[in-house]
Structure 1
Amino acid sequence: MMDPSRTHKKVPVAELDRSACLGPDGAVAQVARCLKMISGRWKLPILFRLYADGMQRSSLLLRDIPDVSQKMLTQHLRELEDDGLVRRTDFGEKPPRVEYRLTDRGEALMPVLLAARQFSEEHDRAV
């Protein structure tokens, strides 16, 4: 039996309610949009490093994330910035000094990612 406090989030099953799940603004589309934001080999490591340390320069990210190239790090940081998950601060100095941190939107995503981690840990043993 479903927890009564969760019934407001229940996925609709009636024929007329399918658009709430499968429509262009439905649950499936929203989750797919979220997954697209974090898809890419290096995006999760970037997000977790920024969550753990608050702020990072690209050189530190490059050092802390094994096997990532400068090109891929820059590309994924730009994509995360475009999606509003990461903020880039350029201090306009010579030599260049640029820092990255999570935005409020990025911070709001982290409990979801931590819940996914917990789900994986708990269900890894069941497989």
Structure 2
Amino acid sequence: MSRAHYSITFRSDIALMDVAWRRYFAPTDVADYAADCFAEFARAGFRPGYLLRMDMSQSAVQPQDALAMFRTHFSGFPVARRIAVVTPSMIARMQVQREMTQPYLQIFAAPDVALAWLLEDVAAPA
């Protein structure tokens, strides 16, 4: 699924939810984005324990009122096994660290490095 300011792709072969943001979100954008994420997650047949890559490299730091809406609309979203956030911006990195406190989250400057880190988990012996 792709919209003007984000895309959501699911790769069942590696249990990856791949999200790319292309700009900041206004508070009014978040509800539709969250609805798309929930709907596409269910449509793809994903379950908790998936891998998530959020590429924020083309988006700005998010406004505070939008952050509040993200917290509201993503409450109850299925939990990932690992989250890789991509942003070269130091300010965006600090915002992500403040908002997303999961211990299984890492921040990267490049999408390919983020994906490699996510896939290390897939290749790890049980």
Tell me if both proteins adopt one fold, taking TM over 0.5 as the criterion: no
Kindly name which structure, 1 or 2, has the bigger radius of gyration based on alpha carbons.
Answer: 1
Q: Which structure has more RCO (C-alpha within 8 Å, separation ≥ 6)? A: 2
More helix by share: 1
Name the TM-score, length of structure 2 as normaliser: 0.23
Name the TM-score, length of structure 1 as normaliser: 0.23
